[in-house]
Amino acid sequence: MVATDADILGRDDANDLEAILSLTNTDINETIAHVENHADTIFTWDYEKGARPRLDKLYEKAKTSMWNGETDLDWSIEVDIEKTVNQLEIASEVQNQSFRRFAEEPGSPLQNWTDKEWHDLGRESLVWQMSQFMHGEQGALLCTAKIVETVPWIDAKYYAATQVVDEARHVEAFGRYIDTKLGDTYPINPHLRMLLDDIITDSRWDMTYLGMQIMVEGLALAAFGFMHAVIEEPLLKQLLRYVMSDEARHVAFGVLSLQEVYAELSAAELRERQEFAFEAAVRMRDRFLQQEVWDHMGVPVDEMVRRQLDMPPERQGFQRLLFSKIVPNCKKLGLIDGADGWLRDRFTEIGVIEFEDWVDTEEEFEQFGLPVDDLTADAVG
């Protein structure tokens, strides 16, 4: 049976405004969330290390690339958040111009905004984005622990175990930056939470790889790269650079592992993975509509989300660029054109297929490597 958008997304149209807005955090003060995990725990008694040489190479690299957020980052640095906000606003100028044009329309909820409101929006967006980075890193922590538990290959278990340590370090570092430098936080975005819940709940280990290593981590790598390229604030720049060096290995781990598996799948099985990739892509796009920020700013959320959904692709620079790591990696895995090219059509519909021939992470992860003792603030590949 051919799945419809309603089957995949729970709504008939990816741009259904009412359905997008219906997802909200029901308890923003919640500190514990329970998600049922249906996966089987897999032991392997085959301990031959290096049976999959490319995974073994990643494992060896991971062991020598560990950094300590407590001691390798200079937390004494005074952070100029206002300067960072200004730099991000300049980098997002195309989209910001669309919002400012909207403010000029009669009856616009932004019509009477002063420079202060526009700057407050930039600061809230930064706090929101850093908060979602932190929440996403915890999702990666739990999903990678699940990979250790469920993947049948010893080389993959070894590498995934190093990633668990990486992700714990990322959560710790982002948490400290938010707490000590920003002083405010947002709860997890409901669209991100739904995606993480889906990844954890699925019983198939390769779906954990696809959802987390390819989709969520791929988007994170692109987001970190964008922010790192445009800001000058030295502490955050150092933090992002370290995280990027880890994340590139993580995405490459997913590509290397899934290539072997997906080459043997039937068209029907591949189609299931395509549908999951499309669902993940839409959930992540919905996440960046930042409903919580608009609500905090006191403007009608529905109007601002509709405005973003209606924005032409050429004015969605940042959001579209986030898919620059996801699309080429999906192509590398045979997901773009497999099963009659279903995913190509869907990525074309949401305006991200143009990234298909960008370099995939398996080829580029070496460029993200950074010696642990290299703490120069501008150490970008």
pLDDT band at residue 14 under the 50/70/90 scheme? confident
pLDDT value of residue 323 = 86
Kindly tell me if the per-residue pLDDT of 186 is higher than 50. yes
Contact of 186 with 178, CB cutoff 8 Å: no
- What residues contact 213, with CB distance under 8 A and at least 6 apart? 250, 251, 253, 254, 255, 257, 258
Instruction: For residues 201 and 35, give the distance between their C-alpha atoms in angstroms, rounded to a whole number.
Output: 7
pLDDT value of residue 374 = 44
Kindly tell me if the per-residue pLDDT of 372 is higher than 60. no
pLDDT value of residue 379 = 31
Instruction: For residues 375 and 239, give the distance between their C-alpha atoms in angstroms, rounded to a whole number.
Output: 10
Instruction: For residues 53 and 49, give the distance between their C-alpha atoms in angstroms, rounded to a whole number.
Output: 9
pLDDT (mean) for 331-360? 90
Q: Which residue has the higher pLDDT, 221 or 29?
A: 221
Q: Which amino acid is at 212?
A: M
Instruction: For residues 169 and 371, give the distance between their C-alpha atoms in angstroms, rounded to a whole number.
Output: 17
Instruction: For residues 101 and 103, give the distance between their C-alpha atoms in angstroms, rounded to a whole number.
Output: 5
Kindly tell me if the per-residue pLDDT of 381 is higher than 80. no
pLDDT value of residue 66 = 93
Percentage of the chain exceeding pLDDT 70: 92
pLDDT (mean) for 103-118? 91
Residue 263, both tokens: 């080459």
SS3 content of the chain, % helix, strand, coil (to 5): 65, 0, 35
Residue (of 253, 65, 252) closest to 166 by Cα position:
65
pLDDT (mean) for 23-28? 78
| Residues 237-282 pLDDT 10s | 999 999 999 999 999 999 999 999 999 999 999 999 999 999 999 9
pLDDT value of residue 76 = 96
State the residue for tokens 């699925």.
202
Neighbours of 95 (CB within 10 A): 17
pLDDT band at residue 101 under the 50/70/90 scheme? confident
Q: What is the dihedral of CA 64, 69, 74, 76, to 10 degrees?
A: -170
Percentage of the chain exceeding pLDDT 90: 68
Burial of 25 (0-12, 13-18, 19+ CB in 10 A): middle
Poorest-confidence range of 34-43, 175-184, 191-200, 317-326? 317-326
Contact of 281 with 323, CB cutoff 8 Å: yes
Kindly tell me if the per-residue pLDDT of 370 is higher than 60. no
Contact of 303 with 295, CB cutoff 8 Å: no
Asked: is 79-105+113-368 a CATH 1.10.10.60 domain? The reply is no
| Residues 195-241 pLDDT 10s | 999 999 999 999 999 999 999 999 999 899 989 999 999 999 999 99
pLDDT value of residue 316 = 66
pLDDT band at residue 351 under the 50/70/90 scheme? confident
State the residue for tokens 């880890």.
246
Instruction: For residues 67 and 372, give the distance between their C-alpha atoms in angstroms, rounded to a whole number.
Output: 6
pLDDT (mean) for 149-175? 97
pLDDT value of residue 365 = 63
pLDDT value of residue 29 = 74
| Segment holding 197, helix H or strand E | helix 190-201
Instruction: For residues 136 and 192, give the distance between their C-alpha atoms in angstroms, rounded to a whole number.
Output: 8
State pTM to two decimals: 0.90
Contact of 243 with 170, CB cutoff 8 Å: yes
pLDDT band at residue 373 under the 50/70/90 scheme? very low
pLDDT value of residue 71 = 95
pLDDT value of residue 362 = 64
pLDDT band at residue 152 under the 50/70/90 scheme? very high
pLDDT (mean) for 31-39? 85
pLDDT value of residue 190 = 93
Neighbours of 267 (CB within 10 A): 10
Instruction: For residues 48 and 275, give the distance between their C-alpha atoms in angstroms, rounded to a whole number.
Output: 35
pLDDT band at residue 50 under the 50/70/90 scheme? very high
